[in-house]
Structure 1
Amino acid sequence: MSTPPRPAVVPPQPWDFPAARTTCLPNGLTVRLQHLPGQHVISIGLLLDVPLTSEPAGRDGLAQVWAASFTEGTQAHPGTSFADAVEDCGAVMEAGIGYSHVQALVDVPASGLAAALTLLAEAVITPTLTDADIERHGRLEAAHLTQQLATGSGLANAALRRAVVDPSFRASRGRAGWPDDLVGVAGPDVRAWRAATHGPRGAVLVISGEFGEDALALADAAFGSWTNPEQASVHHETPAGRPRAAYLIDRPGSVQADIRWGWFTIDRTDPRWAGLQLATNALGGAYLSRLNKVLREERGFSYGVSLTSAPLRSGGISYAYGSFRTEVVGEALALMPALIDVRQAPITEAELTRARDYLIGTTPLRYATAGGVTSGVLGLLAAGLDTDHIGTQLAAYRATSADQASAAASALLDVDAGSLVVVGDASALEQPLRDAGWDPQVRTADRPW
């Protein structure tokens, strides 16, 4: 039997983010229809312009408990009858929060679009949010967060945000608050917050998939009567960073340590964003990036070491992270600066090409489904951007040189700056951190700040 010929590999075809049909309803709600032929599971997303700065001072966690209680019942479908109605139309519904927004997501077969939109509108506009449901979800969310913070990685992630972002800003604290905050959330608090902040002004409804010509009419029927004259104006903060510091959070007896080395950097509107993305991929975003190649592959210190950027609406956090055996932490920290410092070893053309090919090549894959399109649109709108940013960013990747990527990394990932968080056995780690050039403040895991 003859071997069939190998298929020819052709360059990828030009790609653009799918166009939207956008309409603003009389009540101020924007509706975006992303028609995607062949996508018969419709993805619906509702973005509310409600940043976490809308939570009253000292009441972190209200938004998280609202999101957890989102499908617990409405005036038309109280209690479990709401979940039954969602299931009857074949839908899956959930809510979530970010620092600059809250959102609700629904996936539903095309045949159930009308029913799903009606139920989504009920959950947003006429929820019951009973005291019992709120208090129960407050306790559940507190238990879940406590479980996260009981791990080295969960505690390191929370501590990094505190270490990098000025504590006067909401972005310095976890989205869900702290377990004690969540336990104290009560029904009247959540209902008052929702009534003051949720309304059609600034909200966007996104419907992605293959739907009929009546999709706009269905959206209008579900949401067109939504009003809230008391809807408050929103405040989107512009956070700032903190001075360099090091924190060693003690977990006695731990055989490994979780390391976070972070900088307060930039958001996606900064002209250096493409350069930073290319640089972080080369330095710590790819499997054979500098950090992973040396610290995992050559030294065997860790299962994996990465460098990434997490943009906020304004500013962002870039950080290296990994888990290391306790006995090698000092050596790993001593090696990391040289692996990140592009002043001494600039990004090479080969590294830039690999990073560029990856970032450009994977972009269409993120938007290959209706759910990916809806999530992508919501994420961009929450950041104050629109979908034209995707094409702009792809063009910036193509235009950025190795020198420009190095310049962005040199300015933003300064190895003489940034803050360090290490979670592990302090008795074994304090001196190695000092030997590596850090002067750590030792904290206990139950009171890390």
Structure 2
Amino acid sequence: MKRTLLSIAAGAALLGGPAAAQDFPTTPPRATGAPRVDLPEPVRMRLPNGLTVMYVQQRELPVVSAVLVTRGAGSADEPAQVPGLASFTASMLDEGAGGRDALALASALDLLGASLSTGSGTDAAQANLYVLRQNFPAALRIMADVVTRPDFPEREVNRLRDERLTALARARDEATTIANNAFASLVYGAQHPYGRVPTAEGTRALDRGRVQGFHAARYRPESSTLILVGDVDPAAMQPMVAEAFGAWRAQGPAAAGPAELPQAPSIGRTVVYLIDKPGAAQSEIRIGHPGVPRSSPDFFPVMVMNTMLGGTFTSRLNTNLRETHGWAYGASSNFAMLRGAGPFTARAGVQTNATDSALVEFFRELNRIRTEAVTPTELDKIKNFVALRLPGQLETTSDIAGQLAALETYGLDASYFDDYVQRVMAVTADDLRRVASEYIRPDRAVVVVVGDRQVVEAAVRAANVGPVEIREVTEFVR
């Protein structure tokens, strides 16, 4: 600190003299209204094979960010008996493609100064490319090879499968993984895609044939959108895209769209599931139930309400459990808004000796946001936070491409951003209370506690949050 102050003083002297106390600000700056975000209107084109191409010009830098999003290739669309197949397939795409092995692909990308990654989520798979504009044509051809012509080398399939089996064995000792798996399983059940978790048995079934079959059925041009953001010219680039992706043809059944999701199960009452982790340094807590899909008309009120509850560092949950009581490093909540009703989850890792007290405070906050009126000051603070962070979410070409990919996944138009700020600022206290009452259900929730049963069981039962059931780790990580 002394060195820093001396540096400031030295700098001030160079500018004409020492800095006086009155030269430093004494009041924080006042927040201004959220700026309007004006993205260029995307130019949409389509190849004869059904691939949609979206161009967004951001020419400040000579770079291109490309995202190819494929709907219906996520975990919600994989066979029930092979959980993890979607993410495994996505991770295999760049392990060899177009006749080049993984090292040759990596070397080619390095020579172009490009980065390429692949992955999948619940509802879609993605390939992400970032490259200088001058090297875009060559990098795009590599991206096309990876997505449309993967080789799935047997040796790499075996290697990645063994890595996953090792990770599953290690997960038996990871309280966070145990809690996450148990929560998903207990909220949705094994019959729902959102309730399935990877198992050793399912992972051993990941072979080259299954990966090839999933790719052929689910990676389809008519279900995909290529998003290009940066120094792009639709007229000049569309022939390049056609050259790279024009030969891509759907294989397998004619209409392999997203799988039809079953109804999210109904939870009749709150039950606490205690999973024994002897000697655990802390207890992992998960509380929640099915929430709302991304298509919900209450998207904006729910987002603002959850930000207040547990979506930021100054949220009620984090302030209570971390700042006021010091029981947790952090406490949060989230609505996973997916194609179906993804989970609402409140979570924290808490001190073992505060497990029961933390449960009580969790439920205090869950009930308070449903019943207690929000003050105008708190509401304005949260709305400004949500609105003012939008520009940061669209700061780079990669940010913009990623946001547009999410909109494409859920069938939303890019005009979503045009009135984003207005819709956030239009949320009222009555809106918050209404959506909290409707979408947060502390009386019908799954509560997962992973901790040292010998230490915490009596106190958890005494907390009287709900009936307590004892479950085994091997039920959820196996």
Q: TM-score, normalised by structure 1?
A: 0.93
The secondary structure found in structure 1 opposite 2:336 is strand
Higher-Rg structure is 2
Q: Which of the residues 128, 136, 143 maps onto 1:113?
A: 136
The secondary structure found in structure 2 opposite 1:70 is helix
Matches of 1:124 and 1:183 in 2, distance apart?
24
The corresponding residue for 2:474 is 446
The corresponding residue for 1:363 is 390
Q: Which of the residues 219, 237, 241 maps onto 1:215?
A: 237
Superposition CA RMSD, Å:
2.3
Q: Which of the residues 357, 361, 379 maps onto 1:331?
A: 357
Matches of 1:370 and 1:138 in 2, distance apart?
34
Aligned pairs for 1:118-129 within 5 A? 118-129=141-152
Matches of 1:89 and 1:343 in 2, distance apart?
54
Query: Residues 66, 208 of structure 1: CA spacing in aligned structure 2 closer, same or farther, 3 A cutoff?
Result: same
Deviations 1:306-358 (A, max 9, x none): 12211111212111111111111111112222222134323222221111111
Query: Do the aligned partners of 1:142 and 1:180 also contact (CA within 8 Å) in 2?
Result: no
Matches of 2:69 and 2:203 in 1, distance apart?
23
Matches of 1:300 and 1:167 in 2, distance apart?
36
Give the partner amino acid of 1:356.
Answer: K
The corresponding residue for 1:13 is 35
Query: Residues 439, 121 of structure 1: CA spacing in aligned structure 2 closer, same or farther, 3 A cutoff?
Result: same
The corresponding residue for 2:261 is 237
Larger mean CA deviation between 127-136 and 221-230 belongs to: 221-230
Query: Do the aligned partners of 2:275 and 2:470 also contact (CA within 8 Å) in 1?
Result: yes
Deviations 1:254-294 (A, max 9, x none): 12101011121112321222222111111222323222222
Q: Which of the residues 185, 204, 222 maps onto 2:225?
A: 204
Q: Which of the residues 195, 199, 214 maps onto 1:172?
A: 195
The corresponding residue for 1:381 is 408
The corresponding residue for 1:293 is 319
1:258 aligns with 2:284: yes
Matches of 2:373 and 2:200 in 1, distance apart?
44
The corresponding residue for 2:66 is 44
Q: How far is 1:5 from its partner? A: 9.8
Aligned pairs for 1:27-176 within 5 A? 27-49=49-71, 50-148=73-171, 150-174=173-197
The secondary structure found in structure 1 opposite 2:159 is helix
The secondary structure found in structure 1 opposite 2:53 is strand
Matches of 1:149 and 1:274 in 2, distance apart?
38
The secondary structure found in structure 2 opposite 1:201 is helix
The corresponding residue for 1:394 is 421
Query: Residues 195, 9 of structure 1: CA spacing in aligned structure 2 closer, same or farther, 3 A cutoff?
Result: closer
Query: Residues 48, 33 of structure 1: CA spacing in aligned structure 2 closer, same or farther, 3 A cutoff?
Result: same
Q: How far is 1:90 from its partner? A: 1.3
Query: Do the aligned partners of 2:187 and 2:289 also contact (CA within 8 Å) in 1?
Result: yes
Q: How far is 1:409 from its partner? A: 0.7
Query: Do the aligned partners of 1:165 and 1:239 also contact (CA within 8 Å) in 2?
Result: no
1:407 aligns with 2:429: no
Q: TM-score, normalised by structure 2?
A: 0.87
Query: Do the aligned partners of 1:279 and 1:352 also contact (CA within 8 Å) in 2?
Result: no
Query: Do the aligned partners of 1:282 and 1:347 also contact (CA within 8 Å) in 2?
Result: no
Q: How far is 1:146 from its partner? A: 4.1
Query: Do the aligned partners of 1:117 and 1:219 also contact (CA within 8 Å) in 2?
Result: yes
The corresponding residue for 2:6 is none
Matches of 1:13 and 1:395 in 2, distance apart?
10
Matches of 1:5 and 1:312 in 2, distance apart?
48
Larger mean CA deviation between 323-332 and 191-200 belongs to: 191-200
Query: Do the aligned partners of 2:289 and 2:344 also contact (CA within 8 Å) in 1?
Result: yes
Larger mean CA deviation between 253-262 and 13-22 belongs to: 13-22
Query: Residues 188, 9 of structure 1: CA spacing in aligned structure 2 closer, same or farther, 3 A cutoff?
Result: closer
The secondary structure found in structure 1 opposite 2:371 is coil
Unpaired runs of 5+ in structure 2? 1-16
Matches of 1:126 and 1:133 in 2, distance apart?
16
Query: Residues 233, 439 of structure 1: CA spacing in aligned structure 2 closer, same or farther, 3 A cutoff?
Result: same
Matches of 1:145 and 1:366 in 2, distance apart?
33
Give the partner amino acid of 1:203.
Answer: S
Query: Which structure carries more helix by proportion?
Result: 2
Give the partner amino acid of 1:240.
Answer: A
The corresponding residue for 1:422 is 449
The corresponding residue for 1:434 is 461
Query: Residues 54, 294 of structure 1: CA spacing in aligned structure 2 closer, same or farther, 3 A cutoff?
Result: closer
Query: Do the aligned partners of 1:70 and 1:94 also contact (CA within 8 Å) in 2?
Result: no
Matches of 2:317 and 2:330 in 1, distance apart?
9
1:270 aligns with 2:296: yes
Matches of 2:168 and 2:406 in 1, distance apart?
24
Q: How far is 1:129 from its partner? A: 0.5
Give the partner amino acid of 1:446.
Answer: T
Query: Do the aligned partners of 1:72 and 1:83 also contact (CA within 8 Å) in 2?
Result: no
Q: How far is 1:166 from its partner? A: 4.1
The secondary structure found in structure 2 opposite 1:208 is strand
Q: How far is 1:228 from its partner? A: 2.1
The secondary structure found in structure 1 opposite 2:136 is helix
Matches of 2:329 and 2:31 in 1, distance apart?
34
Unpaired runs of 5+ in structure 1? none
Query: Do the aligned partners of 1:163 and 1:242 also contact (CA within 8 Å) in 2?
Result: no
Identity %: 26
The secondary structure found in structure 2 opposite 1:214 is helix
